[in-house]
């Protein structure tokens, strides 16, 4: 890409100066390897926010630190482009060699002819972040509502269908919902009248309720009435209309139980129900809501499990009763149609034995050596009991002490995760918090446990609820350290993640000082992997190698 200066318009710069959400940015030696246009755009954004950071616009995370590198993607379809923005639910945005902004769709769409125009478009979307009036209509009504309001379409952009009249209204059509944000009460009243004519279920809100027209709903009966039911991949999705246009309730049912319930409000505020987890930290409680975690009550029974263990003559497995009482029936549903991302509980494993065995769950290299029936298994020297599943190819098991193991059937590898199920969930919540806040930044991996002294000298603090004899997490302002002990099937190692290359260089030097013979490797397949490795080499740490 040819070098050029990025000039943002006065209107865009004025908006960026007051954007409430920004991500950290700091000079980084790795930027030297980036295309000039990418570095120039980031510098312009940084200056426009009053040097507060890089703005987050309409949900898109921009820039080097936030989008994890503006890196060249290994995908051949995007190898000549640099990543400039990412969104948790929509397409990523790249800059090509001519400076055009392209979507990550196949084939890609041209979103803007140059970086400044892309920022202008994102600012236009972001300007409706807190509109005077909002409504959500179930169904794809964007084209009809655009005609109703006289708003021209701008086509499919940023991974969604949009109609925008700057300073007046925005219509966004995505999946089975259409969202409208309006400045004037007249426009939202026209939308509500349209919905009434078409018998469309809508919900509505206003930042100043006293000025709002009355909300309309196709069915204003007391209570909830299902207006959408869909069954797929073993679960049922129901959307119910709340009376008087107050909103919608979405319920996901799995195995005959509601495992997730969330309220969809017109201001995009979502409240999710989640099970109470005894002893959970505030972080884990937040994770239970955001994941989301649900509980299939019909798939939990301490009494049934106790009877089964007695009939099987299983002595020394009382830990299963504790797990069942506190965590039995936990399910993590995917936000997309498909099987659960996590199923947890000994009784759940028993009740779903036929389904899990059909999936190959509980298989291990030494399964035939164990006389007990499913869900007991042996993996190497470890006698385990299957208590759940993760994703498609990973099993959760427990030993008589309560230690939790992860078996990856695809690669035939067993690892110990935590000293307890609660500890495993706490560690999962911490990793989720770090990844969501920092992105999947490349780790520096040291082939031994550098110990608590290293973490203390690094300026990090031990997270007690997410640490035990198996592994420990330490976090700081610019770094995150995960120490794994030599225990059971685990090999000792230390993983170091830093927000900026300068911090990673500092910690790598400290690691080399404490362990001169240790092997240091950077996970170059992760975001920012190659720039981080280059920064370490430039700092004189030439013996640091790469790993995938």
pTM over 0.95: no
Question: pLDDT (tens digit, 0 to 9) for every residue of the chain, 548 residues total?
Answer: 444 578 898 889 999 998 888 876 655 544 555 567 777 888 888 889 998 888 888 877 887 544 443 333 334 344 567 778 877 556 678 888 788 888 776 667 788 888 888 898 888 888 887 788 877 777 788 899 999 999 887 755 554 578 888 788 989 886 567 888 888 888 888 888 888 788 776 766 666 655 545 444 333 333 455 556 667 777 777 766 655 455 667 777 888 788 877 766 554 444 566 788 989 999 999 888 878 788 888 889 999 999 999 988 888 999 999 999 999 999 987 755 667 889 999 999 888 876 776 666 655 544 444 445 778 888 888 999 999 998 777 899 999 999 999 998 778 899 999 999 999 999 999 998 888 777 678 899 999 999 999 999 999 999 999 999 999 999 998 999 999 999 989 999 999 999 888 999 999 999 999 999 999 999 987 767 888 899 999 999 999 999 87
Give the residue from 378, 395, 423 where a domain finishes.
423
Same domain? 451 vs 324 = no
336 inside domain: yes
A 10 A CB-CB count for 268 gives 12
Same domain? 120 vs 132 = no
Same domain? 467 vs 387 = no
Give the residue from 126, 161, 180 where a domain finishes.
126
Same domain? 492 vs 418 = no
Burial tier of 258 (Cβ tally within 10 Å: 0-12, 13-18, 19+): middle
Same domain? 82 vs 94 = yes
Burial tier of 285 (Cβ tally within 10 Å: 0-12, 13-18, 19+): middle
Give the residue from 373, 394, 423 where a domain finishes.
423
210 inside domain: yes
Do β-strands 545-547 and 520-523 pair in parallel, antiparallel, or remain unpaired? parallel
Same domain? 203 vs 154 = yes
Q: Which residues contact 179 (CB under 8 A, 6 or more apart)?
A: 134, 135, 136, 137, 171, 172, 173, 266, 268
State residue 20's pLDDT score: 85
CA 71 → CA 197, 231, 328, 416, distances in Å?
A: 50, 40, 42, 33
178 inside domain: yes
State residue 209's pLDDT score: 53
- The count of residues in the chain is 548
Same domain? 45 vs 146 = no
Same domain? 70 vs 135 = no
316 inside domain: yes
| Secondary structure of 490-533 in HEC code, one letter for each residue | CCCEEEEEECCHHHHHHHHHHHHHHCCCCCEEEECCCECHHHHH
Domain of 450: which CATH number? Answer: 3.30.160.110
Same domain? 242 vs 205 = yes
Cα separation of 33 and 31, whole Å?
5
Same domain? 329 vs 394 = yes
479 inside domain: yes
Same domain? 308 vs 243 = no
5 inside domain: no
CB 403 within 8 A of CB 470: yes
Cα separation of 132 and 185, whole Å?
8
240 inside domain: yes
Q: Which residues contact 143 (CB under 8 A, 6 or more apart)?
A: 153, 173
Do β-strands 202-206 and 404-408 pair in parallel, antiparallel, or remain unpaired? unpaired
- The first and second tokens of residue 402, run together, are 């309560």
**Boundaries of domain holding 406:** 294-423
State residue 55's pLDDT score: 86
CB 226 within 8 A of CB 236: no
Burial tier of 110 (Cβ tally within 10 Å: 0-12, 13-18, 19+): exposed
Count the domains in the chain: 4
Please report, to the nearest 10 degrees, the dihedral formed by the alpha carbons of residues 290, 293, 294, 295 taken in order. -160
432 inside domain: no
Backbone angles phi and psi of 466, in degrees to 5: -110, 25
Element (H, E) at 271: strand 270-272
Coil vs helix vs strand at 480: strand
State residue 359's pLDDT score: 64
Burial tier of 222 (Cβ tally within 10 Å: 0-12, 13-18, 19+): exposed
Same domain? 88 vs 111 = yes
CB 151 within 8 A of CB 193: no
């Amino acid at each position: 890409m040819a070098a050029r200066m990025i000039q943002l318009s006065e209107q865009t710069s004025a908006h960026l100066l007051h954007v409430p959400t920004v991500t950290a940015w700091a000079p980084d030696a790795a930027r030297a390897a980036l295309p000039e246009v990418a570095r120039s755009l980031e510098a312009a954004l940084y200056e426009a926010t009053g040097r507060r950071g890089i703005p987050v616009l309409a949900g898109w995370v921009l820039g080097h630190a936030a989008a994890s590198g503006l890196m060249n993607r290994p995908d051949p379809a995007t190898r000549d482009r640099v990543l400039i923005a990412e969104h948790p639910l929509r397409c990523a945005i790249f800059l090509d060699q001519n400076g055009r902004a392209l979507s990550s769709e196949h084939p890609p769409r041209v979103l803007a002819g140059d970086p400044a125009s892309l920022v202008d478009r994102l600012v236009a979307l972001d300007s409706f972040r807190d509109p005077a009036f909002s409504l959500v209509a179930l169904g794809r009504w964007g084209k009809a509502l655009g005609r109703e309001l006289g708003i021209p379409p701008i086509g499919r952009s940023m991974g969604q269908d949009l109609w925008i009249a700057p300073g007046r209204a925005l219509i966004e059509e995505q999946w089975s919902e259409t969202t409208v944000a309006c400045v004037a009460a007249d426009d939202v009243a026209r939308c509500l009248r349209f919905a009434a004519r078409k018998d469309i279920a809508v919900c509505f809100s206003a930042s100043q309720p006293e000025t709002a027209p009355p909300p309309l709903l196709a069915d204003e009966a007391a209570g909830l009435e299902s207006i959408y039911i869909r069954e797929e991949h073993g679960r049922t999705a129901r959307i119910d209309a709340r009376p008087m246009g107050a909103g919608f309730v979405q319920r996901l049912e799995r195995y005959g139980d509601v495992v997730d319930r969330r309220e969809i409000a017109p201001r995009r505020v979502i409240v999710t129900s989640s099970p109470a987890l005894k002893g959970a930290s505030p972080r884990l409680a937040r994770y239970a809501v955001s994941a989301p975690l649900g509980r299939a009550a019909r798939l939990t029974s301490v009494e049934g499990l106790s009877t089964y263990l007695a009939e099987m003559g299983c002595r020394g497995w009382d830990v299963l009763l504790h797990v069942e009482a506190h965590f039995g029936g936990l399910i993590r549903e995917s936000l997309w149609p498909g099987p659960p991302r996590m199923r947890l509980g000994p009784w759940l494993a028993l009740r779903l034995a036929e389904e899990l065995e059909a999936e190959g769950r509980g298989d291990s290299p030494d399964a035939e050596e164990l006389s007990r029936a499913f869900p007991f298994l042996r993996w190497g020297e470890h006698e385990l009991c299957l208590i759940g599943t993760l994703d498609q190819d990973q099993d959760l098991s427990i030993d008589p002490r309560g230690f939790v193991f992860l078996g990856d059937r695809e690669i035939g590898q067993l690892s110990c995760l935590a000293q307890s199920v609660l500890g495993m969930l706490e560690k999962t919540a911490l990793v989720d918090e770090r990844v969501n806040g920092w992105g999947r930044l490349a780790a520096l991996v040291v082939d031994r446990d550098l110990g608590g002294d290293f973490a203390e000298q690094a300026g990090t603090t031990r997270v007690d609820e997410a640490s035990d004899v198996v592994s420990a997490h330490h976090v700081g302002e610019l770094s995150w350290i995960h120490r794994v002990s030599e225990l059971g099937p685990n090999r000792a190692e230390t993983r170091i993640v830093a927000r900026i290359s300068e911090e990673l260089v500092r910690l790598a030097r400290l690691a080399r000082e404490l362990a001169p013979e240790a092997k240091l490797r950077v996970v170059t397949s992760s975001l920012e992997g190659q720039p981080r490795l280059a920064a370490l080499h430039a700092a004189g740490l030439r013996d640091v190698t790469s790993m995938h």
